[in-house]
Chain A
């Protein structure tokens, strides 16, 4: 019953968000909360992502005794945290949303109390997450010290007019970017990502790896682009993001090659993908931000499918988390092997899947911003990254199966997984709709 109520809550929130969506930004709660088109689109994507995550997770959770009311309540509180972050127009609202999301996620990772790895992962996540929150708060306090305000709109106005103490502002910016890097899982602040992805129950890993990325994107847009996007500050954080993007692309893609555990491999792949997201943001243009939003949407879709496939192949007492567990998948189920093929091609950025267009859009924005060398570096590391995705395809199609258990998912999982995989192809052939929506929502929400 709580599962059905949770899905109903998400459906209701979807309907209300759709009904109250506005092109013109509207504020409430003393201007601490803003509802604009970017927020509406991101929230709609969050509901879809969380709803799909719940469908994929259901059999997995039931087989492990985790299909309980508290799981769904934590999911809803985490979703609420994301929504608050997405609509935040004030540093306190932003922090409130972030902590609501983070605390729910820490609890969810630790939900499997009998598992030593899950408890260890939760502990690491909590300690490093708390460190990141501390950095963010310290940075925010410096911004307050430099400008005398916590409102993002006022912060932006003061930064543009030069009415802020620049040195303190830049120091605050450094702490904020570091905190953001931690939360995003971008190198060199990525050390928690593989351990948490690996140690958490796969259903929770699926959750951590998908919808919160929308909130992280909104966080960057609100705080860095809107609040600290003045020309003299843009140059400061652009340099920091360049460094983080290159390191993320390098560490993520190179280290993923050495992994035999699929969850760890996907964790490193996430770090690489976050590098690509940062490339879109650091280009500093509306097109770049639109490309970044498109990239996040595509990444979440790909992650949903890939982790969903791990859940689909897992069963009570067995986790299909090693690369060997995917050996001979084509012989066991040609359809799911094809779906996984589409997901892997998209992750690698190979046409005609949507992953190619996501990377292309980001690279175009980077080249337009005169960072040609950065685009070359990104392409090189994408090529390296393609190796470990293609290796999984080889295992599925050219190796004999190790696990021969029949694959019999529930009807809803079957339909959703098929739609998820085919979406890679459909959005790849017709990327304009999603890309147009992202670009339009960014342009309508920010006065570029």
Chain B
């Protein structure tokens, strides 16, 4: 936590990056019809 807290001004960017990676992984398990 001590490494993450000083980065609070960049939280929106970190969140969006994490979500982009999550979507990349989720896309592997989703068929084209249910995108």
A interface vs B, CB < 8 Å?
1-3, 5-6, 8-10, 12-13, 16-17, 20, 22, 26-29, 33-35, 43, 67-70, 72-73, 76-77, 79-80, 83-84, 87
Interface of B is mostly: helix
Q: Are A69 and B9 in contact (CB under 8 A)?
A: no
Return 12 A-B CB contacts under 8 Å, by A number: A5-B19, A9-B20, A13-B19, A16-B12, A20-B12, A29-B7, A76-B16, A76-B23, A77-B20, A83-B13, A87-B10, A87-B13
Residues of the A chain whose Cβ atoms lie less than 8 Å from the Cβ of B6: 28
A218 vs chain B, min Cβ distance (A): 14
Instruction: Digitize B1-12: 1 where CB-to-A-CB distance is under 8 Å, 0 elsewhere.
Output: 000001111111
B35 vs chain A, min Cβ distance (A): 5
The answer to whether residues A28 and B9 also contact, given A9-B15, A13-B16 and a CB cut-off of 8 A, is: yes
Residues of the B chain whose Cβ atoms lie less than 8 Å from the Cβ of A34: 9
Chain A residue nearest to B30 in the complex (CB):
A1
Give bound CA distance, A419 to B26, whole Å: 32
The answer to whether residues A2 and B13 also contact, given A29-B7, A73-B20, A76-B19 and a CB cut-off of 8 A, is: no
Number of B interface residues in the complex (CB < 8 A):
22
Chain A residue nearest to B28 in the complex (CB):
A69
Give bound CA distance, A26 to B32, whole Å: 43
B8 vs chain A, min Cβ distance (A): 6
Instruction: Please tell me which one of the listed residues B7, B20, B30, B34 contacts residue A28 in the complex, with CB atoms under 8 A apart.
Output: B7
Q: Are B9 and A17 in contact (CB under 8 A)?
A: no
- Which 7 pairs show the lowest CB-CB distances between chains A and B? A69-B27, A35-B9, A9-B19, A76-B20, A17-B12, A13-B12, A16-B12
Give bound CA distance, A33 to B14, whole Å: 13
Q: Are B23 and A6 in contact (CB under 8 A)?
A: yes
Give bound CA distance, A68 to B23, whole Å: 11
Residues of the B chain whose Cβ atoms lie less than 8 Å from the Cβ of A73: 20, 23-24, 27
The answer to whether residues A3 and B10 also contact, given A69-B26, A69-B30 and a CB cut-off of 8 A, is: no
Residues of the B chain whose Cβ atoms lie less than 8 Å from the Cβ of A10: 16
Chain A residue nearest to B14 in the complex (CB):
A16
- Which of A3, A10, A13, A79 has the most chain B CB atoms closer than 10 A to its own CB? A13
Instruction: Please tell me which one of the listed residues B7, B17, B22, B35 contacts residue A80 in the complex, with CB atoms under 8 A apart.
Output: B17
Q: Are A67 and B9 in contact (CB under 8 A)?
A: no
Residues of the A chain whose Cβ atoms lie less than 8 Å from the Cβ of B15: 9, 12-13, 16
Q: Are B35 and A3 in contact (CB under 8 A)?
A: yes
Q: Are B24 and A20 in contact (CB under 8 A)?
A: no
Chain B residue nearest to A69 in the complex (CB):
B27
Give bound CA distance, A181 to B35, whole Å: 37
The answer to whether residues A83 and B16 also contact, given A2-B26, A68-B32, A69-B35 and a CB cut-off of 8 A, is: yes
Q: Are B12 and A43 in contact (CB under 8 A)?
A: yes
Give bound CA distance, A69 to B35, whole Å: 7
B4 vs chain A, min Cβ distance (A): 11
The answer to whether residues A2 and B23 also contact, given A12-B15, A83-B13, A87-B13 and a CB cut-off of 8 A, is: yes
Instruction: Please tell me which one of the listed residues A2, A13, A20 contacts residue B35 in the complex, with CB atoms under 8 A apart.
Output: A2
Residues of the B chain whose Cβ atoms lie less than 8 Å from the Cβ of A6: 19, 23
A384 vs chain B, min Cβ distance (A): 41
Give bound CA distance, A144 to B20, whole Å: 33
Q: Are B9 and A20 in contact (CB under 8 A)?
A: yes
Residues of the B chain whose Cβ atoms lie less than 8 Å from the Cβ of A13: 12, 15-16, 19
Q: Are A29 and B10 in contact (CB under 8 A)?
A: yes
Instruction: Please tell me which one of the listed residues A22, A33, A80 contacts residue B20 in the complex, with CB atoms under 8 A apart.
Output: A80
Residues of the A chain whose Cβ atoms lie less than 8 Å from the Cβ of B20: 9, 73, 76-77, 80
Q: Are B10 and A35 in contact (CB under 8 A)?
A: yes
B27 vs chain A, min Cβ distance (A): 3
Residues of the B chain whose Cβ atoms lie less than 8 Å from the Cβ of A28: 6-10
B13 vs chain A, min Cβ distance (A): 5
Q: Are B23 and A5 in contact (CB under 8 A)?
A: yes
Residues of the B chain whose Cβ atoms lie less than 8 Å from the Cβ of A17: 12
Chain A residue nearest to B11 in the complex (CB):
A16
